[in-house]
Amino acid sequence: METINNLISKTSKYLTPAQILDIKNAFYFAEKSHSGQLRASGEPFIQHPLKTAIYLSNLHLDSEAISAALLHDVIEDCGINEEQIAKKFGEQVSKLVIGVTKLNRAEILNEETTKIVSTSNAASIRKMLISMSDDIRVVLIKLADRMHNMQTLKYLPKEKRISIAQETLEIYAPLAHRLGIWEMKWMLEDLAFQNLEPESYQKIAELLNSKRSEREEYINKVIEKTSTELKSFKINASIEGRPKHLFSIHKKIKKYSEMNRGISEIYDLFALRIIVNSVSDCYAALGAVHSIWHPITGVFDDYIASPKDNLYQSLHTTVICENSHPVEIQIRTKEMHELSEYGVAAHWLYKEGDINDSKFEHKMTWIRQLLEWQREISGSEEFVESFKTDIFNDQVFVYTPKGEIKELPIGATILDFAYLIHTEIGHRCVGGKRNGKLVSLNTKISNGDTVEIMTSKNIKGPSLDWINPDLNYVKTTSAKTKIRQWFNKQQKEFTLNNGKLILQKQLKKINETISLEELAQNSNFNSVDEMMFAVGSGNITLPQIINDLPQNQPKLDNDQVSKKITSPTSGIEVLGVGDLLTKIAKCCNPIPGDLIIGFITRSAGVTVHIKSCINIMNEKEKERLIPVNWREQQPSYPVDIKIESWDKVGLLNSITSVVSNEQINIGSCVSEEYDGFSTIKLNIYVNGIKQLGRIISKIESLEPVIEVNRVN
Ligand code: MN
């Protein structure tokens, strides 16, 4: 038998005397209302709400929730009405009690009409979440209520027992799981399991019991050794042998027997939990653990880097300990641990001693973003959606013209709603009707509104104003993301065009007529777009692309190497013919990196032209053309560049110092001035097109310089 004193002593630890008084008043009111009523167990009925409240006090819930837990059955069972509760205990408590009562009624309805358990339980949970979306505390009270009902289930007739246990297993345990309250989840599951499959339950309980002392001794030994090791790594940690849950073992046995494996192979019959101070300590502890015991490969999970759906975070590993027993080890921080045990209820735990609560808000922001992100990538899975809704009871529900319910955060606008319906509808949204009246895009919507969106076909995309935080056009992250994505896409097109322009301009600058398609095909890019994007975003320059072309790389094909004769006089190799002299054609003056071709002259060996040289293009005797390549080690080649610039004192000096900094020799320099403009023709010796490209852009970056081009 529980007493009010126990509840008082538990709540005194974290509530004020005034709040304790509220709780006392609620208790005496409930006790009086339920007087004379008995539970199926024969206990006075008040024991049930009292135990429900005590359970919630373990989760440090606030005084309103505790009071509501004490009063949760008075409307249903004692004919008290909501006005009475509101008057005596306030609006908030009354709302909570009504929430729980509604839920009880929904349950009864379900029992009479259809079997909840036969329908999809995700849908049922969703319904439950929506009906309780006003306040997450309703869910917590309902779960605590169910917990006590499960603990006293044995007093009910068998049929009722089975249907309640099944409902618990299929709805309430997953709900606790989704809310991240693991402790509750395990307890509900084990209780349901005990009632649904008493024989299996008994067998597993005996199995665990028969080896209990042996197991405990073993686990203690492992804890000791782990603890010593962690100390040597200077990691502060608390280590505990994790209590095993019968239902999870049962599920594992079933799974293993399907795989024809025995119970001895179930790793986490032995389990350990290490709680440390920081995330970096988690990984350090993992390292320490793996240094004493061999991890089983493929059983490691990093839920810190990728948290589970319900935000659970931990490192899981299974190692082979003494006597070759596998032991599952979970490593997490204290905060992760609290969140995993108490889930959303950790909200109240954290509030304790932290009045302005900034840490919690910070955490919630992070969780919100995570959920938002999950929703983006999981394709708005209904459940994640409603889970999010309910954890943060700050949602409004609005109707589409067809009567569908949509959920949005408080403060969401017509435009948010448009984006929620469809991205394209958001982009083209020009206004909306709220409850039949025309309103502007940034009008906030309220609970119960019916919203109709108006779009225009002439509008191509959103306005930048929409993501201006001062103008409050949208509230939801998903709408903001979609608007940004639209602009990013525009940006992408801009970058592509920009890349194309740069490429065309630079190709012209260095006198190459290779097409962009050809260039992309021969380089490492998968497409012209990819190449244009890389250039447009400044990740690569044209000279780099040309320099990386395969014909500018040393050949590795042995057959070709043997046939390849290197002309002794230059840095050019002529493929597939005998010893021939090569010389550089004067008409186009190629330098290394240029795409080149040889022309077999009648007297003087091979003349090397740029592939696109006008003389080559016009050449009728194509059979006289021969493939040639630049050699790997290249001497310097002369090239002419023309610099157009504003005339400025010291101009020539800055140009020549740029050139000499590159350790390039200047062959000649001719400078002309006219009406404030300078034209400088420079003959320089470069080792290839990469160097030429670099020198051109360096000179172009000098302040008075307008343009630099290669000339022939
Ligand atoms: Mn109840």
Of 260 and 515, the one with more pLDDT: 515
The Cβ of residue 527 has, within 10 Å, a number of other Cβ atoms equal to 11
Helix or strand run (H / E) with residue 669: strand 665-674
The pLDDT tens digits for 39-72 are 988 999 999 999 999 998 887 888 999 999 999 9
Q: What is the 3-state secondary structure (H, E, C) of 78-114?
A: HCCCHHHHHHHHCHHHHHHHHHHHHHHHHHHHHHHCC
User: Is pLDDT of 662 > 60?
Assistant: yes
Whole-angstrom distance, CA of residue 625 vs CA of residue 188: 85
DSSP state for residue 170 in the 8-state scheme:
I
- Residues 124-149 as b/e (b if ≥16 CB within 10 A, e otherwise) read bbbebbeebbebbbbbbbbbbbbbbb
The Cβ of residue 364 has, within 10 Å, a number of other Cβ atoms equal to 15
Instruction: Using CA atoms of 441, 442, 445, 450 in order, give the dihedral in degrees to the nearest 10.
Output: 0
Those residues whose C-beta lies under 8 Å from the C-beta of residue 303, and which sit 6 or more positions away, are 312, 313, 314, 315, 316
Kindly report the backbone phi and psi dihedral angles of residue 27, in degrees, each rounded to the nearest multiple of 5, phi listed first: -60, -50
pLDDT band with cut points at 50, 70 and 90 for residue 179? low
Note the pLDDT of residue 484: 83
Of 331 and 131, the one with more pLDDT: 331
Note the pLDDT of residue 261: 65
Q: Which residues are catalytic?
A: 76-77
Distance 72 CA to ligand 1 centre (A): 6
The pLDDT tens digits for 120-166 are 444 444 445 544 445 677 878 988 999 999 999 989 998 889 988 98
Distance 131 CA to ligand 1 centre (A): 18
Residue 429, strand partner residues: 455
User: Is pLDDT of 472 > 80?
Assistant: yes
Residue 21 structure tokens: 């008084």
The Cβ of residue 605 has, within 10 Å, a number of other Cβ atoms equal to 17
DSSP state for residue 179 in the 8-state scheme:
T
User: Is pLDDT of 172 > 90?
Assistant: no
Residue 255 structure tokens: 């799974």
Instruction: Using CA atoms of 216, 218, 221, 222 in order, give the dihedral in degrees to the nearest 10.
Output: -100
Please tell me the total number of residues recorded for the chain in this structure. Answer: 712
Whole-angstrom distance, CA of residue 150 vs CA of residue 52: 11
- Cβ atoms of 267 and 222 closer than 8 Å: no
What topology does CATH give the domain 365-489? Ubiquitin-like (UB roll) (3.10.20)
Kindly report the backbone phi and psi dihedral angles of residue 272, in degrees, each rounded to the nearest multiple of 5, phi listed first: -140, 145
Note the pLDDT of residue 310: 60
**Domain spanning 637-711, CATH class:** alpha beta
The pLDDT tens digits for 396-443 are 777 788 766 677 888 899 999 999 888 889 999 988 999 888 998 999
Domain boundaries along the sequence of the chain: 4-196, 199-355, 365-489, 492-547, 564-621, 637-711
CATH number of 4-196: 1.10.3210.10
Whole-angstrom distance, CA of residue 456 vs CA of residue 465: 18
- Cβ atoms of 547 and 629 closer than 8 Å: no
Note the pLDDT of residue 530: 85
Whole-angstrom distance, CA of residue 159 vs CA of residue 582: 100
Distance 168 CA to ligand 1 centre (A): 14
Whole-angstrom distance, CA of residue 127 vs CA of residue 389: 12
Kindly report the backbone phi and psi dihedral angles of residue 704, in degrees, each rounded to the nearest multiple of 5, phi listed first: -80, -10
- Cβ atoms of 414 and 434 closer than 8 Å: yes
Percent of the chain residues past pLDDT 90, beyond the cut: 19
Q: What is the largest CA-CA distance in the chain?
A: 125
Distance 205 CA to ligand 1 centre (A): 29
- CATH tag for 199-355 (out of 3.40.50.720, 3.30.465.10, 3.30.460.10, 3.90.1150.170): 3.30.460.10
- Cβ atoms of 272 and 330 closer than 8 Å: yes
Distance 448 CA to ligand 1 centre (A): 30
- Cβ atoms of 656 and 666 closer than 8 Å: yes
Kindly report the backbone phi and psi dihedral angles of residue 206, in degrees, each rounded to the nearest multiple of 5, phi listed first: -65, -45
User: What mean pLDDT is predicted for residues 344-361?
Assistant: 47
With 0.85 as the threshold, say if the pTM is over it.
no
User: Is pLDDT of 365 > 70?
Assistant: no
Whole-angstrom distance, CA of residue 342 vs CA of residue 181: 4
User: Is pLDDT of 312 > 50?
Assistant: yes
Distance 143 CA to ligand 1 centre (A): 10
Whole-angstrom distance, CA of residue 117 vs CA of residue 163: 8
If you compute the radius of gyration of the chain from its CA atoms, what whole number of angstroms results?
39
Distance 345 CA to ligand 1 centre (A): 20
User: Is pLDDT of 99 > 50?
Assistant: yes
Helix or strand run (H / E) with residue 638: strand 637-646
Those residues whose C-beta lies under 8 Å from the C-beta of residue 343, and which sit 6 or more positions away, are 176, 179, 180, 181, 182, 310, 311
Distance 48 CA to ligand 1 centre (A): 7
Distance 45 CA to ligand 1 centre (A): 10
Whole-angstrom distance, CA of residue 369 vs CA of residue 481: 12
Distance 103 CA to ligand 1 centre (A): 11
Whole-angstrom distance, CA of residue 173 vs CA of residue 194: 14
Which range among 3-12, 182-191, 310-319, 623-632 has the greatest average pLDDT?
Answer: 3-12
Helix or strand run (H / E) with residue 10: helix 4-12
Whole-angstrom distance, CA of residue 684 vs CA of residue 686: 6
Note the pLDDT of residue 32: 94
pLDDT band with cut points at 50, 70 and 90 for residue 488? confident
Note the pLDDT of residue 373: 38
Distance 73 CA to ligand 1 centre (A): 6
User: Is pLDDT of 538 > 90?
Assistant: no
Whole-angstrom distance, CA of residue 103 vs CA of residue 109: 10
Those residues whose C-beta lies under 8 Å from the C-beta of residue 675, and which sit 6 or more positions away, are none
Helix or strand run (H / E) with residue 326: strand 326-333
Distance 170 CA to ligand 1 centre (A): 19
